[in-house]
Amino acid sequence: MSHDLDAVLEDETTAIHEATLWADDGWTARIIKNEDDDGWAVAMTRDGQAEAALVGPWTMGRDKKNPKPLDAPAFHTLVKTANEVLRRHEQQLHARLHKQVDVDGEGLARIRVSLDITPDDDDPTAVLSAHDRDGNELARVPVSPGFRLNRASAEAWIEGGYRRPSRD
């Protein structure tokens, strides 16, 4: 019995538990032929997403030709692993788009300088901001998304009176 994946995604309450297709709890696991060798792979796709969040090898069945059937424990392990992959991806993206460094300002007051990048295929933007230890904003200026924030650039910005850096 084969199910149209689009129909499954339209009705997220429909659970499918087949040997090579499981759809449940917002995820779909599909056993696919591994293009790189004679084996099998499993693709984990979150409902509503076009791309798989996780693709990995899948075990051969006892006949050494067909894939091992999906079951509840394997599916739940795959969901857990796929969620972890997405969480790590989100953390890496956040770290790439939001950077900060603490520096000593005038009178040895601690100043947190942050660079926040807003990605956009056509027109990405970035903002450099400074906050005191109480979280009060001291300055905010637009900069190039390619601006390199480090201790030296933050100190130079502060010493320059928080003017927009001439060379982003």
Q: Is the pLDDT of residue 105 over 80?
A: no
> Quick one: tokens of 24?
């449940």
Average pLDDT of the residues in 136-145: 94
Average pLDDT of the residues in 89-117: 89
Query: Residue 32: which residues within 8 A CB-CB, separation 6 or more?
Result: 40, 41, 42, 43, 55
Contact 162, 138 (CB under 8 A): yes
Report the candidate in 109, 108, 106, 99 with the shortest Cα–Cα distance to residue 153.
Answer: 99
Q: What is the DSSP string of 90-159?
A: HHHHHHHHEEEEEEE-GGG-EEEEEEEEE--SS--EEEEEEEETT--EEEEEEE-TT----HHHHHHHHH
Q: Is the pLDDT of residue 83 over 60?
A: yes
Above pLDDT 70, what percent of the chain? 89
Dihedral of CA atoms 102, 104, 110, 111 in degrees, nearest 10, equals -60
Q: Can you give the pTM of this predicted structure? A: 0.66
Contact 59, 100 (CB under 8 A): no
pLDDT tens string 36-53: 777 899 999 999 999 999
What Å distances lie between residue 165 and 118, 140, 153, 162, CA to CA?
18, 11, 9, 8
Report the candidate in 16, 58, 52, 50 with the shortest Cα–Cα distance to residue 33.
Answer: 58
Residue carrying structure tokens 């689009």: 6
